[in-house]
Amino acid sequence: MEVLRAANARQAAGGDVLHLEIGQPCTPAPAAVRAAAARALEAETLGYTDAFGLPALREVIAGWYRDRHGVAVPPERIAVTTGSSAAFLLGFLAAFEKGDRVALAAPGYPAYRNILRALDLEPVEVPAGPETRFQPTVERLEALPQPVRGLILASPGNPTGTMLGRAELRRLSDWCEARRVRLVSDEIYHGIDYGSVAPATALAFGQRALVVNSFSKYFSMTGWRLGWLVLPPELVRSVECLAQNLYISPPTLSQHAAVAAFSCIGELDGHVARYRRNRDLLLNELPSAGFGKLAPADGAFFLYADVSDLCDDSQVFCRRILERTGVALTPGVDFDPARGHRFIRLSFAGTEPDMAEAARRLRSLTR
């Protein structure tokens, strides 16, 4: 967000900016979603819904798991939430007690750490790098000096785009089950993958995991602030009570619109095809600009680059690139406070012409 503020200031002063710093689609919600919202504005009262959301929306989400993963999820275990952010808040509150230690990979999404700390929980960062494809492993969890009560996994991950294969996810799930460690599986980039690793959901390996998803990424609905949380049976009532008290219900207009999102798979897969073209373009062009050490981009729309050959301070490096080229990138310290000074993240969720121009400008900078 600091980079975004600097980029916006540059634009306000008349400079141009290519936004590769923000992890959101450049496309609006699908046409059918926008049409459903217009109909709901005319026909619906748009008052509160149940705390867990519209029954019709929970039904189609359950169908998503049945059709995509062959997993039966009762709608009663699905909580529609105000974005995935609310899903994490509700899930952490219900699953853990004050002082519990929760493991997560570094690099990883910074809000995990910040929400955990805000709830008096202790984030335990598990360093991950190219040797583990930037994902935690059972061996590294076993090596922790103290036990943990929870584990957060993200596949595809932010900032790296790496994914856990089915066998890896099963092994981690089994490790959690054997030790009564609560697994929280962040699956908000599901739907955005490029074929190198088959996507799998933690719901395929037991009922104790909490699974978080969102309409923001694959469904291209970031500002509609809608996500969902699949709960183990024993946490359903606790989360329902928390949701009732913290925000009553998720946005009603967004819920009516989101029912239509699952009829837009062709349009949405078209976005994924564009992300793939953008990814392939950058993978081909960035090495000649000095960005040759890249995490495997199995999914999502990010590249995580080791720039230690070019700088030793990713914040200074990103600021300099913005000033000289107008290309906005994210410093790795957001995702890994200990080692992120050597890394940057690039988002390729934008347009193809923007990606091509960004690559050209980056090449010109390092020549």
Coil/strand/helix, residue 299 = strand
Full DSSP string of 96-137: --TT-EEEEEES--HHHHHHHHHTT-EEEEEE--GGGTTS--
Mean pLDDT over 353-363 rounds to: 96
Across the range 23-52, mean pLDDT stands at 97
Instruction: Tell me 250's DSSP state.
Output: -
Helix (H) / strand (E) containing 349: none
Q: Are 25 and 269 in contact (CB under 8 A)?
A: no
pLDDT of residue 87: 98
Question: What is the model's pTM?
Answer: 0.96
- The model's pLDDT over 82-131, given as tens digits with 9 standing for 90+, comes to 999 999 999 999 999 999 999 999 999 999 999 999 999 999 999 999 99
CA distance 230 to 227: 10
Q: Does residue 1 have a pLDDT over 80? A: no
Whether 366 has a pLDDT exceeding 70, the answer reads: no
DSSP string across 12-63: HTT---EE-S--S-SS-S-HHHHHHHHHHHHH-------TT--HHHHHHHHH
Q: Looking at domain 2-29+265-366, what is its CATH homologous superfamily? A: Aspartate Aminotransferase, domain 1 (3.90.1150.10)
Q: Does pLDDT of 303 surpass 90?
A: yes
pLDDT at 235: 98
Compute the chain's Rg from CA coordinates.
Answer: 20
pLDDT of the residue at 367: 63
| Helical packing angle, 352-366 and 314-325, nearest 10° | 110
Length of the chain: 367
Quote the pLDDT of residue 10: 87
Question: Mean pLDDT over residues 162-191, rounded?
Answer: 98
Gap between the Cα atoms of 146 and 345, Å rounded: 31
d(CA 1, CA 328): 11
Cβ-in-10-Å burial (0-12, 13-18, 19+) of 135 comes to: buried
Residue 329's CB is within 10 A of a number of other CB atoms, namely: 28
Two tokens at 213? Answer: 């998803």
Read off the pLDDT of residues 259-283 as tens digits, 9 standing for 90 and up.
Answer: 999 999 999 999 999 999 999 999 9
Query: Residues spanned by CATH 3.90.1150.10 within the chain?
Result: 2-29+265-366
Residue 8: per-residue pLDDT: 85
What is the rounded distance in angstroms from the CA atom of residue 303 to the CA atom of residue 73?
33
- Residue 213 per-residue DSSP state: E
Tell whether the torsion through CA atoms of 212, 215, 216 and 219 is positive or negative. positive
Report how far residue 77's alpha carbon sits from residue 151's, in angstroms, rounded to the nearest whole number. Answer: 20
Cα–Cα distances (Å) from 336 to 76, 96, 106, in that order, read 37, 24, 5
Mean pLDDT over 12-22 rounds to 90
Q: Kindly state the tokens that stand for 363.
A: 């090449």
Count of alpha carbons within 13 angstroms of residue 341, beta-carbon side: 5
Report the C-alpha gap between 33 and 38 in whole angstroms. Answer: 9
**How far, CA to CA in Å, does 210 sit from each of 153, 202, 206, 214?**
10, 8, 10, 14
Delimiting residues of CATH 3.40.640.10 domain(s) in the chain = 31-263
| CATH code at 31-263 | 3.40.640.10
pLDDT at 161 over 70: yes
Mean pLDDT computed over every residue of the chain: 96
Mean pLDDT of 336-364: 96
